[in-house]
Amino acid sequence: MKGQLTMPRIFLLTLLLIGSLMLPACSKPESAAPTASKLQVVTSLFPLYDFVRQIGGDQVEVTLLLPPGVEAHSFDPKPDDILRVNRAGLFIFTHKAMEVWAATIAQSVDPARVTIVDASVGTQLRQSSGHADEHGAHGHTANAAAIDPHLWLDFANAQVMVENIAQAMARKDPAQRDLYLRNAAAYLARLDALDAAYRTALALCKQRTLLQGGHFALGYLTARYDLKYHAAAAVNPEAEPTAATMAALVQQMRRNNLHYLFSEELVSPKLAETIAKEAGGSVLLLSAAHNVSKTDFERGITFVEIMERNLKNLQIGLECR
């Protein structure tokens, strides 16, 4: 019986394993004690996090709840996260369709202390067709009324969100009101410039159809710049593409002589690769910006940088001049 993995040994091993992982996590200084004077903001998703950062500069402490690389729909908040929201001055989330858990957290806080901000107020929401076709000409299914939650990909929406956030921050922290509004105005101009760059660059493309070998996430973007959009699967990440949808994408690539298929960053590119390979093309990455990789996050990537990177790949993929 020597050398066998007995139960006590397995448990011991597991405990050691957990312990060794927990030690560094516990001893890590929690980014010092939050400075009492600064406004504490907690955001659910990356775009909101970056907007707050752009508006508040170093006058706010902003925290992103969703860890890098974790799927927004399936995130499970830790006790620490709830605590952080309860200690914050502002808690900002996108839309209850995107982060169901954020709405749950929002209900649990003391409204006198923490101001809850629904950043989507006043934005233009798109219905996400149940089927992966942008114009929804065919395939409106039972869940056709569902809302596509990637609303920041329409830069006009992004601007409304920035304004909502700036107003909320100004109300919560009147001392810095001028700074917030000034920064917000500058950032709105950045978004205008970004919008103009997209409009110019995408006006002169050989291809007008964006094919995505994954989930339908870029509907706001394609609608704004008048592109056609076909994705292999619906907006909901749990939905599976059917063989016919995949075959249709392959045919479309072949028929229109398309060389590139787009895939979402972070998500496994296997589906897109399978379709692209079948049609003799290759895969380009796009980000819907709701989440970023750990590496990018630690590097301090911004929403605008992500969208500029997207534009470069769009120009390649759509064969723009």
Partner 1 sequence: MPFFEILGYGFIQRALIAGTLIGLLCALLGIFLVLRRFSLIGDGLAHFTFGSVALVLLCGVSATWVTYAAIPLVLIGALGILKLTSSARIHGDTAIGIVSALGIALGVILASLSGGYNVDLFSYLFGNILIISRNDVLLTAALAIVVVAVVALRGRAFFAVAFDEDLARTSGINTGRANIILVLLTALTVVLAMKLVGIMLVSALLILPPVAALQLGRGFLPTLLLAAACGILSVLSGILASFALNLPTGGTIIVASFLLFVVAALVGRWRRG
Q: Is 18 exposed, middle or buried (0-12, 13-18, 19+ CB in 10 A)?
A: exposed
Q: Are 303 and 289 in contact (CB under 8 A)?
A: yes
Give whichever of 23 and 121 is closer to partner 1, judged by the CB atom. 23
Q: Are 46 and 69 in contact (CB under 8 A)?
A: no
Binding of residue 239 to partner 1 (CB under 8 A): yes
Give whichever of 5 and 137 is closer to partner 1, judged by the CB atom. 5
Q: Could you give the strand order of the β-sheet that contains 260-264, starting from the edge strand earlier in sequence?
A: 228-233, 209-215, 260-264, 282-286
Residue 276 three-state SS: helix
Binding of residue 17 to partner 1 (CB under 8 A): yes
Among 15, 16, 18, 197, binds partner 1 (CB under 8 A): 18
d(CA 32, CA 54): 22
Give whichever of 34 and 68 is closer to partner 1, judged by the CB atom. 68
Stretch 255-284: interaction string toward partner 1, x if CB under 8 A: -----------xxx-xx-xxx-xx------
Q: Which residue type sits at 187?
A: Y
d(CA 272, CA 265): 11
Give whichever of 219 and 269 is closer to partner 1, judged by the CB atom. 269
Give whichever of 72 and 169 is closer to partner 1, judged by the CB atom. 72
Give whichever of 104 and 268 is closer to partner 1, judged by the CB atom. 268
- Strand residues in the chain grouped as ranges (E): 39-43, 60-64, 90-93, 115-118, 209-215, 228-233, 260-264, 282-286
Q: Which of residues 105-164 bind partner 1 (CB under 8 A)?
A: none
Residue 320 three-state SS: strand
Half-sphere exposure of 222 (CA within 13 A, CB side): 26
Q: Which of residues 30-69 bind partner 1 (CB under 8 A)?
A: 67-69
d(CA 51, CA 171): 16
d(CA 170, CA 216): 35
Q: How far is the CB of 69 from partner 1 (least distance, A)?
A: 3
Binding of residue 12 to partner 1 (CB under 8 A): no
Stretch that binds partner 1, among 114-122, 173-181, 196-204, 289-297 (CB under 8 A): 289-297
For β-strands 228-233 and 115-118, DSSP reports them as unpaired
Q: Are 142 and 130 in contact (CB under 8 A)?
A: yes
Closest-CA residue to 36 (of 178, 173, 171): 173
Give whichever of 29 and 111 is closer to partner 1, judged by the CB atom. 29
Give whichever of 10 and 193 is closer to partner 1, judged by the CB atom. 10
Q: How far is the CB of 84 from partner 1 (least distance, A)?
A: 14
Among 240, 255, 300, 321, binds partner 1 (CB under 8 A): 240
Residue 316 three-state SS: helix
Binding of residue 241 to partner 1 (CB under 8 A): yes
Q: How far is the CB of 193 from partner 1 (least distance, A)?
A: 30
Stretch that binds partner 1, among 99-107, 114-122, 156-164, 232-240 (CB under 8 A): 232-240
Binding of residue 305 to partner 1 (CB under 8 A): no
Contact residues toward partner 1 (CB under 8 A) are 4-7, 10, 14, 17-18, 21-22, 25, 67-71, 74, 76, 78, 237, 239-248, 250, 266-268, 270-271, 273-275, 277-278, 291, 293-295, 297
